[in-house]
Structure 1
Amino acid sequence: MLSSLRLRILAVTLVVVALALIINASVSYLTLETHNEAQIGQQLDAVASGNARAIEEWTRARADMMEATREPVMGDDPLTALIQLAESGGFLSAYIGRPDGSIMTSDGWDAPDDFDSTTRGWYTDAVARDDTIISRPFVDAVSGKQVVSFATPVKRDGRLAGVIGADVVIDDLIAEVAAIRPTPSSFAFLSRGGETLIAHPDAELIQQRLTAVSDSLTPELIARLGHQADAWEPVRIDGDAKRLVVAPVAGTDWELGVVLDEDEATAGLRAVLESAVMTLVIIAAITALLLGLWLKRAFAGLERARDALEDIASGEGDLTRRLPEQGRDEVAQIAAAFNRFIAKMHDVLLDVRDSSESVRIAATEIADGGQDLSRRTENAASSLQQTSASMEEITSTVEHTAESSRQANGLSESASQVARRGGEAVGQVVDTMQGIRDSAAQISEIVTVMDGIAFQTNLLALNASVEAARAGEQGRGFAVVAGEVRKLASRSAEAAKQIKGLIDTSSVRTEEGAAQVRAAGETMEEIVASVTRVTDVLGEITAATGEQSDGIGQVNVAVSELDRMTQQNAALVEESTTAAEQLKGQADRLAEAVAGFTLRERDQGDHRSAMPRLT
């Protein structure tokens, strides 16, 4: 879209013109809107306040008449004063109500017997306010017209003497309010206390609540606008946007509202806006026409240059051809610059053509050498992989041997510990046998003592027998005891001999066992020493095997690293070979690309004047 430079310039110019006109129209519109708003506000306020003053004069004149009649009605002829009041003020009837409930009227109306003037609204309101009041509108029963009552209290010596009242038809006032129309769709209304309608263009709304016109016409809104000068607020009546201005009627609780239609109030602004839009469209159309004709003429030379470039680009890349350089404008300058650029490109492509052939030959040699180096590197990598596999097998065998040596060393250490514990146990047995031998010697000594005791007992028993024999019959019982004692002594001696024999035999055997235990202890000590030497040797073998395993592991790591580096070198060689192949391919493509251009030969020199030009 808008690919043509001429169309872009035309579009940008139209946009700039449109923006300028829009900005100018916007500034004018905003300025006019500000003045229009102020003017509308002033006009509305003038209409509302002027008509409110007229209504105020109407009510003030009648209130003054009522107040001027206070003295005459208190004279000798109050009826004449009431008649004059009715005629001068245009009242239907004038009357005075007295505190006793009686009433006198200017038209001679006879009140019924139960009539009490003090209970009437006009009477009570005037007494309550102690000033002239205007009642709510009502329909007169006789004439059927809209009527309001004026009432003012009358006092004598500071005491209430009565209330003067008068009824006046307000049809003319309603007509005057209905005639207030700032615009065809605008209207005015007269209300009392912001609640009850006194006058309205629609007669059916009179004496109804003001909210019957619109729910937004609340007493609060009417009171707020009545206390603000030159102020209006937007309202919606029957779905249309309106502007409301309220002017209070001085001396009364009435207020005059003027409702202005929003569309009619801003009709002038819309007309100005429509004129600005039409002006914008007309100026934009004229500008587009004139500028388009001028651009078409101005870009004719550039289009010729474009056609010439397309002719060169769509051919076979003949860089010996040149653009025409007729004229002195920018198009001729572009053609001259392009011809100089083509000449430089021609020389550069000649150099590229010669260099591409050299690059192709060098790339071919690099690719061949890279392929040869890649084969040798792959062979070396294969050998290193085999070496690495063999080293891994050796490493596995050495690790297995080292593990077996560590297990044998652990077993020998366990055997050494067991033999050591056995030697200690044999030593304890030797000590125990020595203790048994000592105990046997002690028992032998005790048995010897017992044998001696038995021998002495036997001697004592023998002596006792001799003494009993000497005693005769008296010692017979003692002799019997002595004989028993000698028998026991003999038996004890015999048992002691047997025990001694057993102890001697046990001592001999104990001595033999002790000798055997000592021999076994010496043998265990030799076993412990041998196992200790075996453990030391296995420890040395284990250490040597571990060092050998670590050394082989380092060799294996070195071989793996060498294999990894060889693999990397092989990958680099392959990448280099691939790059050389790609370089060769690029050189071929470069040669083909350069061959696509028609170039002069080197032996033609700088005979550029002989190059053909496009006509």
Structure 2
Amino acid sequence: MKSIKYKLLLIFTAIILILNIGIGTFTTTAITNQLVRDGHDHLMDMAKQEARYVQARIDGQLAYISSLAQNPILLDENLTFDEKVAFFEEEAKRSGYLAFAFADKEGNATVFNSKHETTNVASREYFQTALSGQASVSDLIISSATGELVTIFSAPVYDQGQLVGIIYGRRDGNTLSEIVSSVSYKQTGYAYMINNQGVTVGHKNTDLVFAQDNDIENMKTDESLRELGELTQKMTSREIGSGEYTYHGVTKIAGYAPIQDTPWIIIFGVEKNDILSSINLLVKTLAFISIAAILIGALITYFVSSSISMPIKTVTIAAQEIAQGKFDVMLSIKSKDEVGQLADAFNLTIKQLVNYQGYIDEICDALQDMSHGDLRIELHKEYAGQFKKLKDNMQALLENLNSTLLQINQSAEQVNSGAEQVANSAQALSQGATEQASSIEELSASLAELTEQIRKSAENAKSAHEKSGFAEKELHGSIDQMKDMITAMNQITLKSSEISKIIKIIDDIAFQTNILALNAAVEAARAGSAGKGFAVVADEVRNLAGKSAEAAKNTTVLIGETIKAVENGSRISSNTAASLEKNVEVTMEAVALIDEIAQTSQEQAMAIVQINQGIDQISSVVQTNAATAEESAAASEELSGQSNVLKELISKFSLTETNYLLYSKNDNVDSDDSFLLNNNMVSVTDGKY
């Protein structure tokens, strides 16, 4: 186990370490944040200062180009062009311009050089601005004359108060790069310039200028440049500010400011670590102070913890000796603090333990007697404190044990008597259950025979139901055929009526033919010998008409008899159909009765099955009761044996003679049980019962 001295040393050292780390971290973080804020402010100030410087230089160039626009040589018609070229070339060389040119109001420009170059600058912004009467500087552009990057300074030219054109001068595009390259900040800081579109117009790396590098466009294809692109986009709003970005894995801080009267913004950027370089010395100093504080704190803690742990160690050794049973220990600690008070309390505890040892010895002797079965025990010493409660509880335990054992003896006798009664009852129950099982088996056999008879009745009813159904179908078929026959007879009657009408028509035709034949015979007689042949024909026609009339009459008689026969057959068929329908109704009623009989038979069969199941369950219960009765008898015999064993065990204890009175006073026993015990208590003599 670790010593308290080393625990205190470890704890306080850890506290000092944590405090130093916390203070160092807080201080470093606060200073770091302040340095970063100061860096932002300083870079913005530098950007504003450099913007004013560039603006001053631009203003100087604008003033120069404006004064040059007022030079009379420019419009002097007495001078040749070559003389003007010589003047302006010398002026350009002196002032650092590449060339000067004059453009009329239509933008037609003539460059003052030996080549006599001409061009049109009407579309240029600097031309439009100067033409409006204001001197201006252009953005970094590609010269239409040379194809190089240049910056144009322009100013309006007046002749007797009238605007006649502009003069402009071209300066090298590296001019802005030269301006920003001349300034620096710390180890890694530098300046660069962009225009309002984010295009680089001045940089120490002139390749970026000629490439028209634009970080706003670059971030669209390179995600690593997004921070720089967004910051550049913010710069184009032409407000003074600062920001941070990561470029090629290096975090940088930038301050920016717009250059008034120009389309440019100047930016000062520096690596963040460069700004924070001064904090390294502070970190080293704080680390040294922290280590020194930890060492000093650990040393102080060591001595303080030693002064605390030594007395505690002495007390610990004394406690170990007491734990081994040595009570002749006495501590001599002179300290007046809590440790000294602990030593005094420990000495007092030792004195009290000596007294407690006497209590423990007496209790051990009493427990030993109890383990041998002797419950006639008394504790004679005067106990104090918790030991007095222990004495009282032990005496109460002895009294309760005496009372409980006497009660157990009485209960054992009652259990023995009850077990014999249970055994006799169980035997009788077992015999009755056996007889019930025999009767149930006979009843089950009778029900099985009845079940078979009901099953056969149900099958016969089912067969009768099927045959009745077949007969019903046949009767329905006969009724349908009878209906068809009645329909056919009705058709015959109808057709016979139509035939009678036709025969009547034939009879009328025969009658008319006979009249015509008579008329023909009369006409033939009038004709004499010329009409004999016609008379013969007329006579034959009359004969045929008579035969036709006779045949029609006979046919009418036959048809009338046929109609009567058909009507008689139709009436008989109707009666037969009605009789068949009654037979169908009777058959359907018989089928319904047979269905009811079959259903009743099935229900009876199911009821018999349920009765069989109930009888099986009763038989199972009866058998279970018989088995349970036998088990109860066996258990009763076992219980009787156990009660005898219990009485033998109780006889091994030596009990006091007055315990039977204690039981009657026990609050946990009701009055009836107390009365029963007092009237059935065995006599006690010589400590035995």
TM-score by length of 2: 0.51
**1:39 alignment partner AA:** D
Deviations 1:545-583 (A, max 9, x none): x9xx99xx9xx99x9699799969969x98xx89x99xx
Question: Is the 2:259–2:265 Cα contact (8 Å) retained in structure 1?
Answer: yes
Cα distance in 2 for residues equivalent to 1:383 and 1:67: 143
Instruction: Tell me which residue corresponds to 1:594.
Output: none
CA-CA distance at 1:103 after TM superposition: 3.6
* Pair 236,136 (structure 1): closer, same or farther in 2 beyond 3 Å: same
User: Match of 2:138, as an amino acid?
Assistant: I
Q: Does 1:21 align with 2:58?
A: no
Residue from 86, 89, 93 that aligns with 2:99: 93
Label 1:49 to 1:101 Cα distance change in 2 as closer, same or farther (>3 A): closer
Distance in 2, Cα, partners of 1:17 & 1:304: 30
1:396 aligned partner = 433
Mapped partners of 1:330, 1:75: distance in 2 = 111
SS at match of 2:225: coil
For 1:342, which of 344, 350, 355 is the aligned residue? 350
Q: Cα offset for 1:37?
A: 3.1
Alpha carbons 1:381, 1:563 under 8 Å: kept: no
Matched, 1:32 2:31: yes
Mapped pair 1:204 → 2:212: no
Query: What's the offset of the Cα at 1:340?
Result: 1.8
In structure 2, relative to structure 1, the CA distance for the partners of 1:196 and 1:408 (3 Å cut) is closer
The range that moved more, 77-86 or 30-39, is 77-86
Change (3 A) 1:388 1:72: farther
Measured after TM superposition, the shift of residue 226 of structure 1 is 5.0
* Structure 2 residue 49 is matched with structure 1 residue 50: yes
Contact in 2 for aligned 1:245/1:258 (Cα 8 Å):
yes
Query: Secondary structure of the residue that 1:299 maps to in structure 2?
Result: helix
Question: How far apart are the structure 1 equivalents of 2:187 and 2:228?
Answer: 25
SS in 1 for 2:373: helix
SS of match in other structure, 1:359: helix
Report the CA distance between 1:184 and its aligned residue.
0.6
Does the 8 Å contact 2:65/2:153 carry over to 1?
Answer: yes
Corresponding residue pairs, total: 435
Q: What secondary structure sits across from 2:115 in the alignment?
A: coil
Deviation at 1:255, TM superposition (A): 1.2
In the superposition, relative to structure 1, how do residues 105 and 229 fare at CA in structure 2: closer, same or farther (>3 Å)? closer
Deviates more, 1:559-568 or 1:150-159: 559-568
Q: Is 1:162 aligned to 2:165, yes or no?
A: yes
User: Is the Cα–Cα contact under 8 Å of residues 176 and 201 in structure 2 kept in the other structure?
Assistant: no
- Counterpart residue type for residue 109 of structure 1: S
2:151 to 144, 148, 151: 148
**What do the CA deviations read for 1:448-492 (whole angstroms, capped 9, x no partner)?**
xxxxxxxxxxxxxxxxxxxxxxxxxxxxxxxxxxxxxxxxxxxxx
Residue 64 of structure 1 is matched in structure 2 by: 63
Looking at structure 1, the residues matched to 319 and 45 of structure 2 have their Cα atoms a distance apart, in angstroms, of 76
- Quote the offset at 1:288 in angstroms: 0.8
State the partner residue of 1:321.
Answer: 329
Structure 1: give runs of 5+ residues left out of the alignment.
Answer: 411-545, 582-615
> In the alignment, what sits opposite 2:291?
281
Check 1:179–1:84 CA distance in 2 against 1; reply closer, same or farther (3 A cut).
Answer: closer
- Aligned pairs for 1:166-315 within 5 A: 166-169=169-172, 173-211=176-214, 215-216=225-226, 221-225=231-235, 227=237, 231-313=241-323
Matches within 5 A, 1:488-527: none
Amino acid at match of 1:187: Y
For residue 136 of structure 1, the aligned residue among 113, 117, 140 is 140
For 1:568 and 1:127, the matched residues in 2 are separated by 135
Matched residue of 1:6: which SS? helix
How far does the alpha carbon of each residue in 1:35-71 deviate from its partner, in whole angstroms, 9 at most, with x for none?
A: 3233212111111111111111111221233334445
* Aligned counterparts of 1:248 and 1:383: Cα–Cα separation in 2: 119
AA paired with 2:348? R
Indicate how the Cα distance of structure 1 residues 4 and 220 shifts in structure 2: closer, same or farther if over 3 A, else same. Answer: closer
Shift of 1:96: 0.7
Alpha-carbon separation, structure 2, partners of 1:149 and 1:19: 65
Answer yes or no: is the 8 Å Cα contact 2:105–2:131 preserved in 1.
no
SS at match of 1:54: helix
Change (3 A) 1:32 1:164: same
SS at match of 2:347: helix
Moved more, 248-257 or 372-381: 372-381
1:414-459 CA-partner distances (Å, limit 9, x unpaired): xxxxxxxxxxxxxxxxxxxxxxxxxxxxxxxxxxxxxxxxxxxxxx
> Map of 1:470-481 to 2, 5 A cutoff?
none
Is 1:41 the counterpart of 2:43 in the alignment?
Answer: no
Given that 1:99 and 1:118 are in contact with CA atoms closer than 8 Å, whether structure 2 keeps it comes out as no
Give the deviation of 1:285 after TM superposition: 1.0
| Residues 51 and 561 of structure 1, relative CA distance in 2, 3 Å threshold | farther
Q: What is the root-mean-square deviation of aligned Cα atoms in Å?
A: 5.3
CA contact (8 A) 2:193 2:201 kept: yes
From the superposition, tell whether residues 44 and 215 of structure 1 become closer, same or farther in structure 2 (CA, over 3 Å).
Answer: same
Residue in structure 2 matched with residue 110 of structure 1 by the alignment: 115
How far did residue 183 of structure 1 move? Answer: 1.6
Amino acid at match of 2:137: I
1:252–1:19: structure 2 CA closer, same or farther, 3 Å change rule? same
Give the superposition deviation at 1:263: 0.6
Structure 1 residue 12: Cα displacement: 2.4
1:390-413 Cα distance to aligned partner (Å, 9 max, x none): 133134046458869999999xxx
Deviations 1:294-344 (A, max 9, x none): 43345333333333434444xx42234333455544444322212222332
Name the CA distance, whole Å, in 2 between partners of 1:328 and 1:274.
45
* Alignment CA distance shift 1:145-1:123 (3 Å): closer
Paired residue type of 1:204 = D
Deviation at 1:91, TM superposition (A): 2.5
Equivalent residue for 2:509? Answer: none
Judging changes above 3 Å, is the alpha-carbon distance between structure 1 residues 71 and 229 closer, same or farther for their aligned structure 2 residues? Answer: closer
| Counterpart residue identity of residue 111, structure 1 | H
Residues 119-165 of structure 1 deviation map (CA, whole Å, 9 limit, x = unaligned): 675766657988523242569999x9974222345578999733321
In structure 2, do the counterparts of structure 1 residues 568 and 360 end up closer, same or farther at CA, with 3 Å as the change threshold? farther
Aligned counterparts of 1:232 and 1:224: Cα–Cα separation in 2: 10
Does structure 2 retain, via aligned residues, the 8 Å contact 1:232–1:244? yes
2: CA distance, partners of 1:248 / 1:561: 116
Q: How far apart are the structure 2 equivalents of 1:44 and 1:278?
A: 33
Post-superposition CA distance 1:226-249 (Å, at most 9, x none): 547563222122321111222111
Distance 1:564 1:216 in 2: 97
Match of 1:333 in 2: 341
**Which AA in structure 2 matches 1:76?**
D
Letter in 2 for 1:365: G
TM-score (norm 1): 0.57
Q: In structure 2, what residue type is equivalent to 1:391?
A: A
- Structure 1 distance, partners of 2:34, 2:162, is 58
220 and 322 in structure 1: CA distance in 2 versus 1, 3 angstrom threshold = closer
Alpha-carbon distance, 1:82 to partner = 5.5
Give 2:352's aligned amino acid: K
